[in-house]
Amino acid sequence: MKKKLITCLEEDDVSNLTSYTKSIHGTNFSLPEGIFNGDKTLSSKNLSALHICAAFDSIDCFIYIQNYLKAEDFTIQNLENSTPLHYACYFNSYEVASFILDYGFSIPSQKKKLEKLFQDDYKEKTKYSLINLASLSSSPKIIKILFKYGYSLSKFKNHRQILDQCIRNSVIRRDSESLYLLLTLKNDINVDNSPLMTAITAQNIDAVKLLLDLSPNLNYYNSRYETALSIACLWNNYDIVRILLDNMSEIDLPPQLQVKAAVHWMCQSGNPKICRLMLDRGIDVNRLDQEGRPGLFYLTTNVKEDVLAILNMMYQHGMIIDQKENNPITKFTSSIGNYSYAIEWFITHGTSLETLVKPDMKLQTWINKQSRSEYSYKVLRELYID
């Protein structure tokens, strides 16, 4: 008889279920092993009939049993403290999940039980949480409705850990919709960052690839004028930069915005490979930010080979070397320090010794001063001044 009852529940067969109403009570039912596909996060045994309905998304049987049992409602727990809602999340049973939440939150007494269920859920291990179970089953609609009714990741003590786990679940399953939702939720500090920007900050290249399938606006910039590309440069992530560039037609900010732009971002990376990719896209190599600073002001590397490679590439792409205002060498020496090899590069590429490297100091005076304590500058003085 129990096997026939399970068949009715599996097939959502209310008409035949009425013949077994006396056998519906209790938590002595089991799910067939095949339903788990080798992954048994939740138990298959010691379940109520409502748990079985939730697993198969048998909404008609669920409603019938809910009305018939009355005393045993949808917050009934098995030995692992999992409710039918947990099983609905785990098996992507949207009809049952939405009924539990829509119906439950419309009735004050049931609403309290569901709110307590949420509170209890926050205390459980990560793997048994509603949100983790929903991400395991690629259930973006269930994730949406959970948060619609006040389910909150911030109330978990380990909320960052659980959110990262859910993001991994979505990436593994290539569930771009759930990933988008989760990254939107994760964005609790930089509230105007896009999910893609958040994925890049997390250095999750698989998440980036998955989100690109949704054709996001790659030219979006936040209130700090950061873009997905600028963040990838800041993290010096060549692979993500390359993927973004492959999907972008225009990579720079609008020219009317006097803020840090592509040339500044690439210099922030300090990576010649990233600089080459971006320079080949025709960015404005002489663009200044709101402080009148050229890209070189933000150069982060002090590796000689990298600095010279970047300088050469910028020069080949039109960097103006000797100008009266906002001269690159002025900003360069004030930002990364006294590197004689770079100073010599500027001189050999046309920078005048009369150029101001500080508000009150010309390049010639600078070299003379540095030569008193540094041999490399003494060599420069002998080559270009004496």
| Nearest in space to 204 (alpha carbons), one of 216, 213, 196, 214 | 196
Query: Rounded to whole angstroms, how far apart are CA atoms 385 and 357?
Result: 16
Domain 219-319 homologous superfamily, CATH: Ankyrin repeat-containing domain (1.25.40.20)
pLDDT band for position 231 (50/70/90)? Answer: very high
pLDDT at 383 over 70: yes
Mean pLDDT of 64-80: 78
Q: Give the model's pLDDT for residue 326.
A: 62
**Radius of gyration, alpha carbons of the chain:** 31
Q: Is residue 235 within 8 Å of residue 215, measured between CB atoms?
A: no
Q: Give the model's pLDDT for residue 189.
A: 45
- Fold of domain 1-151: 1.25.40
| Domains in the chain: boundaries | 1-151, 164-216, 219-319, 330-386
Per-residue tokens: 71: 């005393």
Give the long-range contacts of residues 114-119, CB within 8 A, separation 24 or more. 114/75, 114/149, 115/150, 116/75, 117/75, 117/83, 117/85, 118/150, 118/151, 118/152, 118/155, 119/155
pLDDT tens profile 127-170: 889 999 999 999 999 999 999 999 988 888 887 788 888 888 99
pLDDT band for position 338 (50/70/90)? Answer: low
Report the range of poorest mean pLDDT among 60-69, 219-228, 334-343.
Answer: 334-343
Neighbours of 117 (CB within 10 A): 20
pTM higher than 0.85: no
Number of H helices, E strands in the chain: 22, 2
More confident residue, 313 or 24: 313
